Amino acid sequence: MNPPVRVLVVEDEPCAMMLMHHILRDTAVYDCTYLRSSVEAAELVRSERWDLLITDLEMPGIDGLTLAATAREHDPSLPVLLATAHPSLDAAVRAVRTAVTDFLVKPLRPQQVYDAIETALATRRQRTQRVLAVGAHPDDVEIGAGATLAQHVQRGDEVTILTASRGRVGGNAEDRAAESVLAAERLGARLVLGDLEDTHIPDRGATIDLIEGVVGRLRPDVVYVHSSHDVHQDHRAVHAATLVATRNVPRVLCYQSPSATIEFKPSTFVPIMDGLGQKLAAIAAFESQTAIRDYLAEDMLTATARYWGRFARSRYAEPFEVVRDSVEVSRAYA
């Protein structure tokens, strides 16, 4: 069963708010949060993950178009429905510039609202996937799946990298954190940087809490993580914790790291002709490591991708073990 659609409804007029609540209350499809303050709503769209924003146009403090723009800065593909009793040409022009999805003209009718919501959500499903890549240390994700993530971004998908530790054992934590930020920027991804203890990351407790928190906010469609076939204890721990934290995510795939064993047996190979350059640029951001780690050498990374390319009928590829790969037929073949 798919999780409920998270909807943020912002309306300063009590009667209009009660009507919207009445329209949406009788369905389990929508998980609605109602706010009368657009200022509070602006904080929520920055800090939490939403599937849809419904906002009134004219509100004190922050108007609906400004709120929509704020929400789109945080999540460029977020559908926004703008409710107003007085639509005008000026408002329509500003709405287009803000990339508002559609208008809801008051007084609202239930079927009008349902139809607008379904149309708005369909546009989001067609445009993007939400992608989460989880690694134990800075540069883990970039090594294992950097090119694949870059190609997700090129297709318009929303990519987040979660790095569980700052790699203190392998170098200066502040330097490695700054390098992680730069690497994520080069891939076009968001970065969430944890601070678990390097070489002592547990496979439960704080690690599961960290990953579950990010999964709860992002609600990813696909997750990439370390393989269990790895000699590094942190990699194995993050793999185990991720499987628990992503138990409701439809697609989970495991990437190869330099410490993977010969038991790593991928069954999915992603051609990366369009993403290899960005991957190499992201790895180059880890200057504190490239000088001392042979496995970060450009020729090693390229040769590895060249080897796996033979299984993808491509010059270069990245390999993945499949933990789970559940695809909705309606989405896959629409």
Q: What is the pLDDT of residue 90?
A: 56
**Calculated CA dihedral for residues 153, 154, 155, 161, nearest 10 degrees:** -10
Within this chain, do residues 256 and 328 fall inside the same structural domain, yes or no?
A: yes
Within this chain, do residues 258 and 326 fall inside the same structural domain, yes or no?
A: yes
DSSP state of 230: B
Structural domain ending residue among the three candidates 73, 98, 126: 126
Within this chain, do residues 51 and 178 fall inside the same structural domain, yes or no?
A: no
Q: What is the pLDDT of residue 94?
A: 56
State the CATH number of the domain containing residue 15: 3.40.50.2300
Within this chain, do residues 72 and 196 fall inside the same structural domain, yes or no?
A: no
- Look at the chain and report how many structural domains it folds into: 2
**Calculated CA dihedral for residues 109, 111, 115, 121, nearest 10 degrees:** 80
Q: What is the pLDDT of residue 85?
A: 81
Within this chain, do residues 95 and 231 fall inside the same structural domain, yes or no?
A: no
Detail the DSSP E strand segments found in the chain: 5-10, 30-35, 52-56, 80-84, 102-105, 130-135, 158-165, 190-196, 222-226, 251-255, 268-271, 317-325
The residues, ordered by sequence, that sit 6+ positions from 5 with a Cβ below 8 Å of its Cβ are 29, 30, 31, 51, 52, 117, 121
Q: What is the pLDDT of residue 333?
A: 32
Q: What is the pLDDT of residue 87?
A: 63
Largest CA distance in the chain: 66
Compute mean pLDDT per 10 residues along the chain, 334 residues long, and list them: 81 92 80 93 88 91 89 82 74 58 86 89 73 98 97 89 97 96 96 97 98 92 97 98 96 97 96 96 97 96 97 94 72 35
Q: What is the pLDDT of residue 101?
A: 80
Where in the sequence is the domain holding 239, given as residue range(s)?
129-332
Q: What is the pLDDT of residue 102?
A: 83
Structural domain ending residue among the three candidates 80, 102, 126: 126
Within this chain, do residues 265 and 117 fall inside the same structural domain, yes or no?
A: no
Q: What is the pLDDT of residue 106?
A: 86
Within this chain, do residues 146 and 259 fall inside the same structural domain, yes or no?
A: yes
Decide if 176 contacts 170 (C-beta within 8 A).
yes
State the CATH number of the domain containing residue 191: 3.40.50.10320
Per DSSP, the three-state class of 234 is helix
Q: What is the pLDDT of residue 124?
A: 66
Q: Between the CA of residue 24 and those of 29, 35, 66, 75, 124, what are the distances in Å?
A: 9, 14, 25, 23, 20
Structural domain ending residue among the three candidates 126, 146, 169: 126
